[in-house]
Amino acid sequence: MRILMTGATGLVGQGVLTEVLAHPGVSRVAVLGRRALGHPDPRVEDLVVERFDELDAVLDRMAPYDACFYCAGAPPLGTPEDRYRQVTVALTLHVARAFAQRNPGARLLYISGAKSDPASRFMPMRVKGEAEVALRALPVATVMLRPGGIQPAHGERSPHAWMRPFYALAAPLMGWGVRLMPGLMTSTAHLGRAMLALTAMPEPPAVVENDAINRLAEGSGGTAR
């Protein structure tokens, strides 16, 4: 598998990248971001851009890939609605359109959120729902993953300093939550494994809720099949 990733420096993306690189079937990973990861694994290639709406410098390197794992986003707490919509909808669509044009037979897997719905009264769920609707209209196969609470499984650290104390305090409880409340909680490891499993499926579901994310991850045994 050849995978293009966004959001690899975020808490979710860090965990997904760990699982992707642990998979023996992954031959190439391109990381689109605003700074280079400089990852030691020779399969990892950095695609560095200043902005996600200015991709000219890397367009020729955005193919060929089998899947795009879109893990980038803005924190729903503390982000004004106009900025949250810009990051969640406009920038996501700009990258997704470029990917779809260059990889028409590929698959785009988007980390959305639980209860995403463009008609929701709650801003983050409403905006994520708008992003889902827009992505489904693109000429590429899409899968929307809707996790609830997400436990850092490999010691991932949030890039947002103000969120780190929360994760440090909640980490032990979140681990129990994944086991006891699989419909509400998942982990970065489960997300990565589920995305790999969905990439390998001939006909994956269009929407994958939190409990299905966990089932896919547990059924994969850490690798897609």
Question: Could you say which DSSP state residue 182 is in?
Answer: T
Residue 219 tokens read as 């059924």
Q: Are 39 and 45 in contact (CB under 8 A)?
A: no
Q: Return the H-helix or E-strand segment holding 87.
A: none
Q: Are 79 and 39 in contact (CB under 8 A)?
A: no
Report pLDDT for 163. 58
pLDDT tens readout for residues 57-71: 999 999 999 999 999
Q: Are 11 and 185 in contact (CB under 8 A)?
A: no
Report pLDDT for 199. 97
CA dist 142 and 182 (Å) reads: 24
pLDDT tens readout for residues 72-87: 999 888 899 999 999 9
Of residues 41, 34, 35, 36, the one with CA closest to residue 17: 41
Q: Return all residues near 221 (Cβ < 8 A) that are at least 6 apart.
A: none
